[in-house]
Amino acid sequence: MRLSLRTAGRIAWRETRSSLTKFLFVVFAVAIGVGALAGVRGFSESVRAMLNSESRTIMAADLSARQFAPPKPDQVAQLDQLGSRGVDRTLITETVSMAAAITPDAVPVLVSIKAVDPAKYPYYGAVKLSPEMALSQALTPETVIAGEDVLIRLGVKVGDPVRLGSADFRMAAIVISEPDRMSGSLNVGLRMMISREGFERTGLMQLGSRAAERYLFKIEPNGPSMEEARSAILEALPEARVIDSRESNPLITRGLDQATTFLSLISLIALIVGAIGVGMAMYAHLQQKMDNIAVMKSLGATSAEIIRIYTIQTLMLGLLGGIAGILLGRAVEEVFPSLINKIFEIKATTGWHFDAAVQGISVGMLTTLLFTLPPLVAIRKIRPAIILRRGMPDTKLPFRGRIAAAREPVFLGAIMLLGLDGIAGWLAGSARVGGYFAGGLFFSLIALAAVAALLLRGLRLFLRRSPVRLPSLVRQGFANLHRQGNQAQSILVAMGLGVMFTLTVYLIQSSLVDEIIQTAPPGVPNVYLVGVTLEQSAPLKQLIASQEGVLTAPQLSPSVSARLVRIDGQDVASRPMKGFARRYLNTRAITWENDQPGNIKVVDGKWWKPNTTEPVVSVDEDAAKTLDIRPESVIEMDVSGRIIKTRVVAEHNYEGARLAPSDFVFNEPALAGLPVVFNGGVRMQPSSAGALQRAIFSKYPTVTVVNVADVLQTVQQIIDQIALVIRFLSAFAILAGAIILAASVAGTRFRRIREVVILKTLGGTRHHIARIFSIEFLTLGAVAGLMGGLLASAFSRILLTRLLDAKFELDARAILVCVALTALLANVAGWFASVRILSQKPLEVLREE
Radius of gyration of the chain (CA): 35
For other proteins, the closer of residues 419 and 764 by Cβ is 764
Residue 215 CA to residue 230 CA, distance in Å, equals 12
**Spatial contact of 191 and 178, defined as CB atoms under 8 Å apart:** yes
**Spatial contact of 55 and 248, defined as CB atoms under 8 Å apart:** yes
In the complex, minimum distance from the CB of residue 748 to other proteins, in angstroms, rounded to a whole number: 12
The DSSP string of 598-611 is: TTEEEEEE-PPPTT
Candidates 390, 407, 465, 578; binder of other proteins (CB under 8 A) is: 390
**Spatial contact of 360 and 322, defined as CB atoms under 8 Å apart:** yes
In the complex, minimum distance from the CB of residue 757 to other proteins, in angstroms, rounded to a whole number: 8
Q: Which residues partner with 587 through β-bridges?
A: 563
Torsions phi, psi of 663, nearest 5?
A: -75, -25
For other proteins, the closer of residues 588 and 751 by Cβ is 751
Q: Three-class SS string for 445-462?
A: HHHHHHHHHHHHHHHHHH
For other proteins, the closer of residues 224 and 764 by Cβ is 764
Candidates 90, 260, 264, 480; binder of other proteins (CB under 8 A) is: 480
Among the listed ranges 299-307, 472-480, 546-554, 701-709, the one in contact with other proteins (CB under 8 A) is 472-480
Among the listed ranges 307-315, 377-385, 448-456, 484-492, the one in contact with other proteins (CB under 8 A) is 484-492
Candidates 131, 300, 351, 393; binder of other proteins (CB under 8 A) is: 393
Reported residue count of the chain is: 849
For other proteins, the closer of residues 383 and 754 by Cβ is 754
Spatial CB neighbours of 710, under 8 Å, sequence gap ≥ 6:
176, 177, 686
The reply to whether 578 sits near other proteins by the rule CB under 8 A is no
For other proteins, the closer of residues 76 and 838 by Cβ is 838
For other proteins, the closer of residues 519 and 779 by Cβ is 779
In the complex, minimum distance from the CB of residue 353 to other proteins, in angstroms, rounded to a whole number: 46
Number of shown-chain residues binding other proteins (CB under 8 A): 37
Hey, what amino acid is at 751?
R
**DSSP helix/strand/coil, 26:** helix
Torsions phi, psi of 777, nearest 5?
A: -60, -45
Among the listed ranges 10-18, 479-487, 533-541, 662-670, the one in contact with other proteins (CB under 8 A) is 479-487
For other proteins, the closer of residues 549 and 842 by Cβ is 842
Hey, what amino acid is at 815?
I
In the complex, minimum distance from the CB of residue 4 to other proteins, in angstroms, rounded to a whole number: 33
In the complex, minimum distance from the CB of residue 762 to other proteins, in angstroms, rounded to a whole number: 5
**DSSP helix/strand/coil, 275:** helix
* Residues 152-183: b if buried by 16+ CB within 10 A, e if exposed: bbbebebeeebbbbebebebbbbbebbbbbbb
Candidates 7, 53, 466, 472; binder of other proteins (CB under 8 A) is: 472
In the complex, minimum distance from the CB of residue 384 to other proteins, in angstroms, rounded to a whole number: 17
For other proteins, the closer of residues 401 and 440 by Cβ is 401
The reply to whether 483 sits near other proteins by the rule CB under 8 A is yes
> Residues 672-701 vs other proteins: string with x where CB under 8 A?
------------------------------
**Spatial contact of 619 and 664, defined as CB atoms under 8 Å apart:** yes
User: What is the number of other CB atoms lying within 10 angstroms of the CB of residue 70?
Assistant: 13
> Residues 451-470 vs other proteins: string with x where CB under 8 A?
-------------x----x-
For other proteins, the closer of residues 56 and 482 by Cβ is 482
The reply to whether 386 sits near other proteins by the rule CB under 8 A is no
Could you tell me the CA-to-CA distances from 580 to 567, 661, 688 in Å, in that order? 19, 17, 38
Candidates 63, 211, 427, 479; binder of other proteins (CB under 8 A) is: 479
For other proteins, the closer of residues 152 and 294 by Cβ is 294
The reply to whether 755 sits near other proteins by the rule CB under 8 A is yes
Residue 591 CA to residue 294 CA, distance in Å, equals 83
Candidates 78, 359, 486, 612; binder of other proteins (CB under 8 A) is: 486
Residue 41 CA to residue 796 CA, distance in Å, equals 22
- Residue 84's Cβ-count burial label (10 Å; 0-12, 13-18, 19+) is exposed
In the complex, minimum distance from the CB of residue 761 to other proteins, in angstroms, rounded to a whole number: 5
Question: Which candidate, 184, 228, 192, places its Cα nearest to that of 86?
Answer: 228
Residues 760-819 contacting other proteins, CB under 8 A: 760-768
Residue 748 CA to residue 284 CA, distance in Å, equals 8
Site residues, other proteins (CB under 8 A):
389-391, 393, 464, 469, 472, 475-476, 479-480, 482-486, 754-755, 758-768, 839, 841-844, 846-847, 849
